[in-house]
Amino acid sequence: MAGRPTAAKRQKERARQEKRQEKAQKKAQRKLEQQQSERPERSGELTVTYNEEGEPEGFNFHDF
């Protein structure tokens, strides 16, 4: 009685496998795009800027 799976079961399993494969392809594509668009690393040092009076200016949020 434990013969071959029914057609509906085969169809569901095929759909699961296809979905799994599509997800893997999308993941690989995102990883590739991320590697291509990586931002260059910044140096760990901050650059101090000075105003007209020669006093150091404060740092912005983006300086860190």
Global pTM value: 0.48
pLDDT in tens, the chain (64 residues): 566 779 999 999 999 999 999 999 999 999 988 888 876 666 667 777 888 888 888 776 665 5
Q: What is the largest CA-CA distance in the chain?
A: 92
DSSP 7-62: HHHHHHHHHHHHHHHHHHHHHHHHHHHHHHTPPPPPPSPPPP-B-TTSPBPPPPGG
> What's the pLDDT at 14?
96
Would you kindly state where each structural domain of the chain is located, as residue ranges? 1-30
Q: How far apart are CA 57 and CA 49, in angstroms?
A: 6
